[in-house]
Chains A and B, each alone.
Chain A
Amino acid sequence: MPGGYAGKFLDVDLSKEKVKDTVIDDETLEAYFGGRGLGTKILWDRIGKKWSKVDALGPDNIFMALTGPMTGIYPGGRICCTGKSPVSNGTVGSTASTEFAPELKMAGYDGVLVTGKASSPVYILVTDDGGEIRDASHIWGKVGEETIKILNKEVVDELTDRKPNIGRWREPGTIYIGPAGENMVRNAAVMSKICHAAGYGGYGAVMGSKNLKAIAAKGRGSLPKVFAPEAVKLLWKKVHEGTISRDAFRRQGTGYAGWSVGANTSSEPVRNWQEEWHDERSMGGPMFETRYWVKKYWADFNCTTSCMKISCIKSGKWKGDITDMPDYELQAYCGTNFGIFDAGDTIHMSALIDNLGHSGINGPNTMAFAAELYQRGILKEEDFGFKIEWGDAEAFTKLAWLIAKREKIGDILAEGTYRAAKKIGEMRGVDCMPYAIHVKGIEIGAHGTRSDVDYTHDISYAASVQGGDHTSIASDGFREMTGAVFSDSGVYCNFCGASTDIIFDYAKAITGYHMSVDSWRRWNGPRIITLQKALLLLGGPDVVWEPIKDDDNPPRFYEPLPSGPYKGKTTDKALVESKRATYYETLGWDERGIPTKETLDRLDLGDVEPSMKKLRK
């Protein structure tokens, strides 16, 4: 067995209330590594042949929480949540930093695969003694903070009862959903640690569809043994030296970007992307830090980047709200994109969105979309039961609850931006797509492409197999394979990065695989991306994307920026088309973005060919 793996996966069928251990063969592990890569392969093997008939929110879908061989051992341990995405109908490798990941490995498991649907709310507990399904009716309906509080105590009490004499038990690592996930808000997140989310893909809704409130893990074993332990120990020190040397980022995190991205690169969503520029210094980093940060350095397992900070509001109407900085994405999506330019209001909105288990980017994207429809008179006060003006944090608070509970117009908005745009468009006889900021259903992260000076450009989202996901953008179809495709599969945090060579030395020392940067860029990465692309193209049952046509930016990204230093600039459509063509060609996809037979054969994906052949006509 290669190093870095615990050696088995927990296979849970909630309909049959059965739990068993599953082993995945070494060859598959070597080819797909873990996390995003392995998850895509498991999905193809288990439900690929009937993919377009599988309802992502039905019992046949598989919810997966997967580690990779690098998780916990490489700095910045994360979990990768995946399955058929109810948003894109493809797959997303959606990762979150959480102690759940190393705890799972220390309990002896590389991942949890959940199929079926429980007859009443449950959670899964994973310990050294195996997995078990436990009643969760007492935590169903609870927000994040309450869920953590109850589960931490309950699991510690239970483990103490079972083994009282070994010393004090610590709390488990946990992933969970909030009310949004429970009510199958289509783009809801899998949450951890009140404010960490596997946000893209809607896997919170998938957990909700299975009546699965949480998975908790507590292990007493070591992290898995590795191929070359002495080399790993040296590399461990070296990578940490690198992360520790990044002074400014450690000190500020991404939380200083709320003003600067708007003001400098002019690529921050403002009022549902009607603008991408603002010069509101009230949203600057110090406004969060001086008044609200109660912990300046906050980290996850084996991380010295500590880009996270803890904010708490201790006075005024939002007293008691706790969140991280918030990080840049939520500063933008729970602040500027609501027309909110106040640090306290933004912290409140972030804390609420996280507590409800909305995905902090995707849920608020839909909320701002609704607010723009209100601004344009397409949705009215009676649809909401209240007025919804830009900048009104109280109104957006009500809207967050309305969607989480699927009340009034919230029931339609809970379908996510794209589906809500379709439905409201039909209801009101107006085309709402110009206001829907998504790519293939996945609402876009808080980095625009129009100014072209941020890290996101022309085909970043348009060509990505994960749509609007800002953490895994398309660039050249080659070097990107050792970026997010690799880190989401090794499952560690991008913000604990090192040079590609060091990362690969680390990976080799852990696993013992004969792997290289080149082999990942030519084989492993393209294999994962191509399989993801195939599943995305198959899609269904409710939405099927059109080849090439839907590999594009939303209409708004082609409107000229109306304000700021890049006023008049917009995404270059001709450039999108030419770079997209090059991207397809590099990956061996045909001119419509469908993987060719030769490519599938070359990547050992021959069994995907029959379904792709049908698409090629």
Chain B
Amino acid sequence: MSDPIWIVRDYERCTGCRRCELACSIHHDGWMWPEASRVRIFMPFPGVEVPHLCAQCDDYPCVESCPVDALSVDEKTTAVIVDRDACTSCGKCIEACPGDVPTLHPGDNKANICDLCDGDPECVKVCHEARYDALRLVHERMSKNRKLFARDPIDVAKDIAVKLFGEKGEEVI
């Protein structure tokens, strides 16, 4: 498998258990810390759960926007890597992201972006263990399609609501 990896998100399969957030933060921060997680589940209405994480856009607007070159691309995985020492917490990467994905870490206040766990993402593992597979690893070449997933999570939620609830879904969020 020489193709880079990518995390497919299957919104309807997400149960909202948020174990991905726990696994992510245990891996990166040593303890259960959902708001420090690089994947976050938005749940603006019960039943509408939206896993929100970096889509690794082909043109990396976040990397481009960084004024101090703190962001780079991992050539093997295509993940965005943050140099936390260089990051000045300016928030430009958040503004540049078409999906509003990055956050400033609630601990060190540095840019917080999915690093694909160096090729073996913890979130995918726990989701698969639970047989939800809402997050699933695929090997695929870089594609413009990725950027379509870098979307405002509430916009995504509004779509999912209609898909689940029909006409009623138009009014719940």
Contact = CB atoms under 8 A, between A and B. Distances in A.
B4 interface: no
Nearest to B16: A299
Nearest to A298: B15
A429 interface: no
Nearest to B34: A106
Contact of B165 (A223, A233, A294): A294
Contacts of B166: 312, 314, 319-320
B130 A298 contact: no
Contacts of B164: 294-295, 310, 312
B87 interface: no
A306 to B, nearest CB: 5
B168 A73 contact: no
Interface string A305-336: 01000101010000110100000000000000
B21 to A, nearest CB: 9
Interface in B61-118: 91, 94, 100-104, 106, 109, 112
A156 to B, nearest CB: 8
A51 to B, nearest CB: 37
B17, B19, B40 — most chain A CB neighbours (10 Å): B17
A483 to B, nearest CB: 24
A240 B127 CA distance: 11
Interface in A236-276: 236, 240-241, 244
Contact of A319 (B19, B153, B167): B167
A610 interface: no
A294 B47 contact: yes
B58 interface: no
Nearest to B41: A170
B25 to A, nearest CB: 7
A301 B21 CA distance: 10
B32 A73 contact: yes
A368 interface: no
A50 B106 CA distance: 45
A195 interface: yes
Interface stretch (A83-91, A214-222, A378-386, A513-521): A214-222
Report the interface size class on chain B: 35 or more
Given A193-B46, A240-B130, A299-B16, A322 B168 contact: yes
A298 B91 contact: no
B9 interface: no
Interface stretch (A160-168, A177-185, A282-290): A160-168
A222 B16 contact: no
A302 interface: yes
A300 B22 contact: no
- Most A-side CB within 10 Å, residue of B25, B29, B130: B130
A236 B25 CA distance: 14
Interface residues of A, number: 47
* Interface of B, helix, strand, loop or mixed by DSSP: mixed
B132 A297 contact: yes
Interface in B9-25: 12-13, 15-19, 22, 25
Interface string B148-173: 00000100000000001111100011
A99 B29 CA distance: 21
A182 B89 CA distance: 45
Contacts of A220: 35, 106
Contact of A167 (B18, B47, B104): B104
B43 A99 contact: yes
B35 A221 contact: yes
A244 B44 contact: no
A131 interface: no
A514 B173 CA distance: 47
Contacts of A399: none
Given A167-B104, A168-B153, A229-B31, A304 B17 contact: yes
A138 interface: no
A236 B126 CA distance: 11
B44 A320 contact: no
B172 to A, nearest CB: 6
Given A170-B40, A301-B17, A303-B17, A222 B29 contact: yes
Interface of B: 12-13, 15-19, 22, 25-26, 29-36, 40, 42-47, 52, 91, 94, 100-104, 106, 109, 112, 129-132, 153, 164-168, 172-173
Interface of A: 72-73, 99, 102, 106, 145, 148-149, 152, 165-168, 170-171, 193-195, 219-223, 225, 229, 233, 236, 240-241, 244, 294-295, 297-304, 306, 310, 312, 314, 319-320, 322
9 contacts: A149-B45, A168-B52, A170-B43, A195-B46, A219-B35, A220-B35, A244-B130, A319-B167, A322-B46
What 10 A-B pairs come out closest when comparing CB atoms?
A167-B103, A222-B33, A320-B168, A299-B15, A299-B17, A310-B47, A220-B106, A223-B32, A193-B46, A166-B104
Given A148-B45, A240-B129, 7 more contacts: A168-B101, A225-B31, A229-B30, A241-B129, A244-B129, A244-B130, A295-B15
